[in-house]
Amino acid sequence: MDNLTNLTAIDAVKYLQKREISATDLVYASINRISEVDKIVNALPTVIFDKAIEDARYITDNVPKDIPRGYLYGLPIAIKDLTDVKGVISTKGSTIYKDYIPQKSDVLVENLESKGGVIIAKSNTPEFGAGSNTFNDVFGKTLNPWDISKTCGGSSGGSAVALATGQVWLATGSDLGGSLRIPASFCSVVGLRPTAGLVAHGPRILPFSNLAVEGPMGRNVMDLSLLLDAQSGININDPISMYGNSISYVDSASMPIRPSKIAYSPDLGIAKVDSEVLEICSKALSKFESAGSKIELIDSYFDKAEDTFQVLRAAYFAMNMDNILKNHREELKKEIVWNIEKGLDLTSEQIFDAEINRGKIVFNTSKIFEQYDLLVCPTVLTPPFDVNLRYLEEIDGIKFDTYIGWLILTFALTLTGCPVISIPCGFTESGLPVGLQVMAPWSQENFLLSTSAYFESILELRNKVPILPVE
């Protein structure tokens, strides 16, 4: 079969299941594509080709009799470099870990391998996943395939670019302040921040924290749903992990649902959004309205979201990385040093206020969902920007106070704890992708994926990737 890299993940798995293609066919197709395009975009700096070939052969000959939900039949996957894969360099985007080879895989990787996934590469990420622009001192910059002079976003930037360029069919990511959603928006793929606990993780310093979550990325909603089926499930190492819905996520995505009533906020009442982004998102919403959904503009329910997130994030960094700061200060990028020190300097009053205000945001969000099926807003304030910028410092003359200020539309929704997805909704006049955030009530991934599949069909952008990098 020609052009295997152009297959959707769903179709690839169907062909694998029927033995019309083999897992090794897909591995070699992935290897060839990586060799062709990754030298341009630098999405997958660590490859695992020999083991992938070996694993593909084993899976082909050892398909289980009782097929588990989300079984992948040897489909190659990229794993974000924050996540450990046994025997493979795991840098976390930091020179501190440039030679670190873990002796055990994270539970996320073990789960995917048990579901027939073949790990073929590690995807690039900024240092410790901080900053939402994918560059580091180990592997350098990852470039946006739609325009290699632009950033791909982050921190799951390598995964998004690998998907957009057809190097892999599925890829993992993680999300604290928008790290699954922002690169999805910037690369015209799909990224889901699921409800905390739906995708289990390995042991953590803060096992009950729900700010950072693991999640799936795909070229389209159906593909992403397949990976979520494979990823989801309870694990003893994650005390907040939970079983997914009894209905598979692929089944939900295969039955698109038109939402009746949508709450739309162009800026969540707290941000300045680029005018072209607003226009593209508005046109997308008008298509949903023409198809029968009722769209209503809502007032802000996110007062103090920026201060709240900044405090909670800083505390998270301080608790997780205090020892790293003590032992490796000179090896950390300046933004991470600032973030850890901000956390260490927080007062109890600041933390109390942040937690209380997060509670108010959660309560206000529940009131939104008493009236509406979904909340929709732009994913990012701006289209992809110059890759040489460490971060976006201003928009339309309005300066950001911190290096993560431009992430406000994603991190505001992080505070809710609700599942939220970024789907492609259009392109700027210069051909740069724009994404739309769609959020559903807590733990309602099935409904979110059904409605997102509906949006995807209305917007007709499903087949825009994979692409060759635009130089």
- The alpha carbon of 23 is separated from its chain's Cα centroid by a whole number of angstroms, namely 25
First to last CA, the chain: 29
The encoded tokens of residue 193 equal 């921040």
Catalytic residue among 80, 92, 122, 141: 80
Q: Which of the residues 123, 156, 179, 185 is marked catalytic?
A: 179
Asked about 18 being catalytic, the answer comes back as no
For 4, 8, 14, 24, 60, the CA distances from 20, given in Å and listed in that order, are 12, 15, 9, 12, 12
Q: Within 13 Å of residue 71, how many CA atoms lie on the same side as its CB?
A: 15
Active site (annotated) includes residue 232: no
155 is catalytic: yes
Query: For residue 261, how many other CB atoms are within 10 A of its CB?
Result: 12
**Could you give the CA distance from residue 311 to residue 212 in angstroms, rounded to a whole number?**
14
Pairing of strands 118-123, 76-80: parallel
| Identified catalytic residue from 30, 94, 105, 155 | 155
- What DSSP assignment string belongs to 205-263? SSTT--SSEEEEEESSHHHHHHHHHHH-B-BTTBTT--PPPSS-HHHHHTS----SEEE
Mention every residue, 6+ apart, whose C-beta is less than 8 A from residue 14: none
Catalytic residues: 80, 155, 179
